[in-house]
Amino acid sequence: MLSRVFPRATNIRRHLSAGFSTQPTNPKPKSNLFLVASGLCLCGVSAALLMPSQPPNSKALSTKAASVGGSGLTSDEADAVLKRFERSLLPQLPSTVVRCDFAAVASNDPIEDYHSEQRCQHGQLFAVMDGHGGTECAAIVQKYLGAYVANALDAALAGKKDWLGRRQQAPVAENTTDADGPDPVRKEAITKALISAFTRLDEDIVNGGFDVVLGPEDVTTADIIRKHLRPALAGSCTLLAYVDGNDVYVACTGDSRAVIGRRKLEGVWEAIDMSADQTVRNVQEYNRLLEEHPGEIETVVVKGRVLGGLMPTRAFGDSRYKWPTQLSEVLLPHVTNRNPPKNYLTPPYVTAKPVVTHYRITPSRDLFLVLATDGLYDELSSQEVVTVVSGFLQHHQIAAPPTVEWGSDPLANKALSLTKDTNAATCLIRNALGGSNEDKTRKLLGIPAPYSRRFRDDMTVNVLFFDHDNTAPPNGLDKARLIVDAQNVQKGLEEVNLNLASAKQHRLQSWTSYFVNLEKQTGIKSKL
């Protein structure tokens, strides 16, 4: 999304930090579409008392939407947009994931989000990619990341049993802790493999290892080089979940987020963040930048962005923040008509190295995992996301309804829309765009690109439902109903193509030399 590279107007998105200097800020505020607080739930507060103090201002939204050509959609048209890409995947092989719901709604044209759902020898891979500055980088990550990860896992786990070979091990106890999880050696091997796969793919991207389809306008050598460098110059945040039996590993590069929906013993739904948004609002990321670039405290973060330009601190591509200084000074003016960022002293400033988190699933407690790009979390908090999915499951009688001891009932919250969808990912996006306020939803979806970016971002969501040996409510999910109720079904997961993980030729140095020689031959340097 272009907003990750260039600031938007300060009055149109909550998470922009006007006047931000070099000090980290608190996490971005969340939507007041509805309020869900586990502490209040424990006190038995009625859902009606958790409503927003002020209703969404649809009249003001109508005025703004009309000013950019958005007249609003009909209810049927809005539903068609919400459901256009939705589907439910049903793995056909034995799997911890019994169903995966997917949905996406574009704001950019074309949408810059991508996703993938695949299986490999040792488990399953689910990912969402949030592109910015163009689609080219995210498209490469979507196509190749699964193969790079599977290849790295094959090397790391050579000679070790896969999940199917370990299914006969003793079941996990209800009070399982991380110490009761996988063999520490295996856990470390998987973590290193995920990091290796991400960093290797990014090295291939930023060094010009991938070809892009050329068009009739790409005639000269310079034109061809510029086109092939598009994946390196665009960027992509990426979130990947590797499911290895009851063990879930989440690798996060950027500000997409993974959240597990867990039902505690007393029945309260709890959101467990499996990743942290990687922006300078994250104190750990802010401190990392300062440690890696000592002496640049006044310039490494400007107005809440890396070098004043990029929002995420980790991403694939974004070579304008990674290439060596001398190379950037030669190459960037020729391929982008732009100079390196101001105060570009000690690159790289951005990395694709992921933060990897492990979680051991507890049977009958950890029921689903949500993977989503930041467009969803701009509008809903992690706890709100879990509340929506739990209400969706309750409505479809897939999960048990709450008891008095559990606190408020999601279905009683009038701000939510939980009964219209058969796909949990679509249900999440609907509630991020207005919930039960259909007028707001219709107006938001009716605003055309590029003006829609002032009001909403691309949203891509995957919801993975876990199966624990057919445990049914009240402790687990009704697997039979979960499968029968699925709509727009795709059976089976795509198998990873390991051939895509082959070594790539790095052409960045030779392309830089081409432009250096061109300047010498012509005596003409770039206009910049």
Rounded (5°) CA angle 8-14-20: 70
Total Cβ atoms within 10 A of residue 498: 15
Q: Please give the model's pTM, rounded to 2 decimal places.
A: 0.84
Cβ neighbours, 10 Å, residue 191: 18
Closest CA to 393 of 414, 415, 410: 410
Least trusted range by pLDDT, from 25-39, 99-113, 414-428: 25-39
Write the CA distances from 432 to 55, 72, 257, 317, 374, integer angstroms: 15, 17, 15, 29, 11
β pairing state of 113-120 and 494-495: parallel
State residue 29's pLDDT score. 44
Quickly count: other Cβ atoms within 10 Å of residue 338's Cβ: 11
Q: How many helices (H) and strands (E) in the chain? A: 15, 16
pLDDT at 283 over 50: yes
Q: Which residue has the tokens 């945040």?
A: 237
Residue 57, pLDDT above cutoff 60:
no
Cα angle vertex 3, ends 351, 350, to 5°? 10
pLDDT in tens, 232-259: 999 999 999 999 999 999 999 999 999 9
Of 157-166, 195-204, 396-405, which has the strongest mean pLDDT? 195-204
Query: To the nearest whole number, what is the mean pLDDT of the chain?
Result: 83
**Confidence band, pLDDT 50/70/90 cuts, at residue 414:** confident
Which DSSP letter does residue 321 get? G
CB 101 within 8 A of CB 424: yes
Q: What is the pLDDT of residue 479?
A: 81
Answer yes or no: is pLDDT of 271 > 70: yes
pLDDT value, residue 474? 57
Per residue in 6-17, pLDDT (tens digit) is: 333 322 222 222
Residue 317 pLDDT: 98
CB 238 within 8 A of CB 232: no
Quick one: 517 exposed, middle or buried, by C-beta within 10 A (0-12, 13-18, 19+)? Answer: exposed
Report the pLDDT value the prediction gives residue 132, as an integer from 0 to 100. 97
Calculated CA dihedral for residues 435, 440, 443, 445, nearest 10 degrees: -20
More confident of the two residues 367 and 264? 367
Using pLDDT thresholds of 50, 70 and 90, give the confidence band for residue 423: very high
What percent of the chain has a predicted confidence (pLDDT) above 70?
78
Helices 221-228 and 325-336, axial angle in degrees (round to 10):
110
Count CB atoms within 10 A of the CB of residue 189. 19
Q: Cα dihedral angle (400, 383, 375, 448), rounded to 10 degrees?
A: 70
Low-confidence winner among 42-51, 417-426, 503-512 (lowest mean pLDDT): 42-51
Phi, psi at residue 4, to the nearest 5°? -75, -20
Taking phi first (over 0 means left), then psi (-120 to 50 degrees means alpha), and beta for anything else, what does residue 483 get? alpha
In the chain, % of residues over pLDDT 90: 67
Cα-trace Rg, the chain: 24
pLDDT digits (tens, 9 = 90+) for 70-103: 568 999 999 999 999 999 999 988 889 999 999 9
pLDDT of 44 > 80? The answer is no
Residue 480 CA to residue 471 CA, distance in Å, equals 10
- Is pLDDT at 53 greater than 90 in this prediction? no
Q: What is the mean pLDDT of residues 411-418?
A: 88
Query: Concatenated DSSP letters for 183-227?
Result: -HHHHHHHHHHHHHHHHHHHHHHHTT-------TT--SHHHHHHH
Mean pLDDT on 507-513: 96
- Better-scored residue on pLDDT, 368 or 67: 368
Q: What is the pLDDT of residue 95?
A: 85
Neighbours of 176 (CB within 10 A): 17
- Mean pLDDT of all residues in 18-23: 28
CB atoms < 10 A from the CB of 295, how many?
A: 10
* pLDDT 10s digits, 345-393: 999 999 999 999 999 998 788 999 999 999 999 999 999 999 999 999 9
Report helix, strand or coil for 392.
Answer: helix
The 10s digit of each residue's pLDDT in 292-318 is 999 999 999 999 999 999 999 999 999
Is 224 in contact with 112 (CB distance < 8 Å)? no
Place domain 2-522 in its CATH homologous superfamily: PPM-type phosphatase domain (3.60.40.10)
pLDDT digits (tens, 9 = 90+) for 453-491: 999 999 999 999 998 655 555 567 888 888 888 889 999
- Predicted confidence at residue 183, as pLDDT, reads 86
